[in-house]
Amino acid sequence: MSEPRPDRTLGPRHDMFWQYCGQGELRVPKCTACGKLVWPVLKACDRCGDENFEWARMSGRGKLVSWCSFVQDYYKATLPVPYDTILVELEEGLLFISIPDGFTEADMSPGMQLELRLRDCHDSAGAFRLPVFVRA
């Protein structure tokens, strides 16, 4: 069943990210000039300023760096509070904000091994698949 989520940032480059997610792949922009992985999607490489990217596929493996739980309701009516959020270091070195799937903050510890899943969701622009993480 599809889950309602707050709106994504959309636009030419952003759409590609979600399109790959829809295909079951986590891909992030990689600067073709200097090779840096860039996240979130930006107009230009945050190391060298070049504006050309290719889409590098991530393995989907990562480990837990930090986490916090929203108790105050910042997204009125869209997301029931409280809910947990996590900061994951992808195997490729990028830090990625996400949410846990099948575990909660009570289970969390630094360095915990995690693995990508894609969850069926929708926002005001339509259906999409959201990258989330399960325990590896």
Partner 1 sequence: MSIRDLPEASRSLSGKVAIVGLGETDYGDDYRASRAKAEGWERPTPEHLAVTAFERALADSGLRRSDIDGLGVSFLYGGPQPAEAAALLGLTPRYLTQVFGIMAGPLPQACAAIAEGKCDSMAVVYAVATRSIGRKFGGANFDDDSGAPPSYYYYHPWGWSSQAAHWAMTWRFYQQQYGRNDADLGAIAIETRKHAMAHPQAVMQTPITIEDYLGARFVVKPLRLYDLCVVNDGAICFIVTRADRARDLAHTPVALAGWGESIVKADKLDALVRGQLRPHYQEAGRQALTMAGLSLADIQHFETGDMSTVNPINALEGYGFAEPGTAIDLCRAGELSLGGRLPMNMAGGMLSGAYMHGWSHVAELVRQLRHEAGPRQVPDLEVSMFNLAQTDQVHPLIFKRGV
Binding site for partner 1 (CB under 8 A): 5-9, 36, 40-42, 46-47, 65-72, 74-76, 78-79, 82-83, 85, 87, 94-95, 97-99, 105, 109-110, 121, 123, 128, 130
Q: Output the smallest distance, CB 111 to partner 1, in A.
A: 9
What would the DSSP string read from start to end of 23-80?
Answer: TT--EEEEETTT--B--S--SS-TTT----EEEEEP-SEEEEEEEEEE-S-SSTTTSP
Q: Output the smallest distance, CB 52 to partner 1, in A.
A: 17
Q: Output the smallest distance, CB 4 to partner 1, in A.
A: 10
User: Would you give the end-to-end CA distance of the chain in angstroms?
Assistant: 23
Q: How far apart are CA 3 and CA 37, in angstroms?
A: 29
Q: Output the smallest distance, CB 88 to partner 1, in A.
A: 11
> Please, which residue, 47 or 57, has the CB nearer to partner 1?
47
Q: Are 130 and 118 in contact (CB under 8 A)?
A: yes
Q: How far apart are CA 115 and CA 136, in angstroms?
A: 5
Kindly state the DSSP code that residue 91 receives in the 8-state scheme: T
> Please, which residue, 42 or 136, has the CB nearer to partner 1?
42
> Please, which residue, 5 or 135, has the CB nearer to partner 1?
5
> Please, which residue, 56 or 79, has the CB nearer to partner 1?
79
